[in-house]
Amino acid sequence: MLAVGGLPDVRVFRNNCGVALHPDGSRVVYGLCPGSSDLIGFRTVTVTPDLVGRQLAQFVAIEVKTATGRVSPEQRRFLDAVERAGGLAAVVRSPEAAAALFQGGAP
């Protein structure tokens, strides 16, 4: 979050997912959805040619992993769905890799 949160035109939010169990046995499921990425947000992009000069928010999904961390099948499906819909989705293993996603403007 620190590596990309201060970049111009990028906003990311921590997406905690899980289940909370109450003493009475009831459950509260929280987070965007199963498999959703650790960081969710958007970046502002300018598209061309039919929307020349108009700024739009592009959905961003960043899955944060350690050097040896594995992406679950649910996480892979979420990332793939974001990419198919035109969003920016990636697995990153360092702050530098996260920041590199936003260098060079729109893909």
Give the whole-angstrom CA distance, residue 94 versus residue 14: 16
Question: What is the pLDDT, as a whole number, of residue 34?
Answer: 86
pTM: 0.75
Burial label, 43 (beta-carbon count in 10 A; 0-12, 13-18, 19+): buried
- Residue 93's pLDDT band (cuts 50, 70, 90): very high
Is the peptide bond preceding residue 49 cis, with omega within 30 degrees of 0?
Answer: yes
Q: Give 29-81 pLDDT, tens digit per residue.
A: 999 988 999 999 998 887 778 877 777 788 999 999 999 999 999 999 999 99
Which pLDDT does position 48 carry in this prediction?
73
Whether 104 has a pLDDT exceeding 70, the answer reads no
* Residue the block writes with tokens 């949160």: 5
Polymer length of the chain? 107
- Which of 64 and 4 is assigned the larger pLDDT? 64
